[in-house]
Amino acid sequence: MQWVAMITMLIDHIGIVWFPDSPIWRIVGRIAFPVYTYLIAVGLSRTRSVPKYLLRLALLAVISQAPFALLFDTYTINVIGTFFVSAAAVYGMERWKDNPLGYAFPIAAAVLLEAVAFDYGAYGLLLLLIFRYTTRHVTLLSHFGLNIIYVLLFQAPLQVFSILPTLVVAYAPSALAKASYRAPSWLWRSFYPAHLIVLYILAITLFRP
């Protein structure tokens, strides 16, 4: 799934920069975010140290912010920042699972993600919660409902295509695990900032429309 996430994200970003009027690039790109979000949910379960996992996400978010802002000409916080805030909220809630105040973590995170304009905003947090705490039909229906709300709020009809990888996550997770070929860890961790830097260099030197 790591390869799927990286390749579809690259296709999406190429489409944004060079082919903004061609929807096929964005449709393929809708696969990337749910896959990345699912892998964050899996990572939270499998990591030996959640604090170290969160630290890696925070560092990647900081490293990626400048090339992200330059490439897309935006002040929005990049998606790794969204994953960091969302994963930290899940960690805080689970650490305080016996205390009702634990629910303050995802609520505060949702407010922060929307107020500071993180990429995908509270949608990213809600999708992570869906993958973390639901299975099968509930996973699929929850993501479908979330997409409907997103489409209505942001007039983004292409977001409906993001349900496609969730079909696999919901109904064939074991087959997915068996068929999954992991990318080298150095490539997986560096791909997001690295591809932004490469695309930005290409955009300003060769191919900017």
Report the C-alpha gap between 101 and 134 in whole angstroms.
Answer: 22
Distance between CA atoms of 197 and 81, rounded to whole angstroms? 17
Q: Are 187 and 196 in contact (CB under 8 A)?
A: no
| Local structure of 77: helix, strand or coil | strand
**Cα-based distances in Å from 16 to 24, 63, 92, 93:** 11, 21, 35, 35
Range of the domain at 177: 2-207
Phi-psi region of 73 (alpha: psi -120 to 50; beta: other; left: phi over 0): left
pLDDT tens, N- to C-terminus, the chain (209 residues): 899 999 999 999 999 999 999 999 999 999 999 999 999 999 999 999 999 999 999 999 999 999 999 999 999 999 999 999 999 999 999 999 889 899 999 999 999 999 999 999 999 999 999 999 999 999 999 999 999 999 999 999 999 999 999 999 998 776 665 555 789 999 999 999 999 999 999 999 976 55
Yes or no: say if 26 and 156 are a contact pair by the CB < 8 Å rule.
no
Q: What is the pLDDT of residue 206?
A: 79
Tokens at 66, concatenated: 């400048």
pLDDT at 170: 92
Q: How many beta carbons lie within 10 A of that of residue 126, not counting itself?
A: 22
pTM: 0.94
Total structural domains within the chain: 1
Are residues 109 and 84 in contact, defined by beta-carbon separation less than 8 angstroms? no
Instruction: Give yes or no for a contact between 32 and 52, defined as CB atoms under 8 angstroms apart.
Output: no
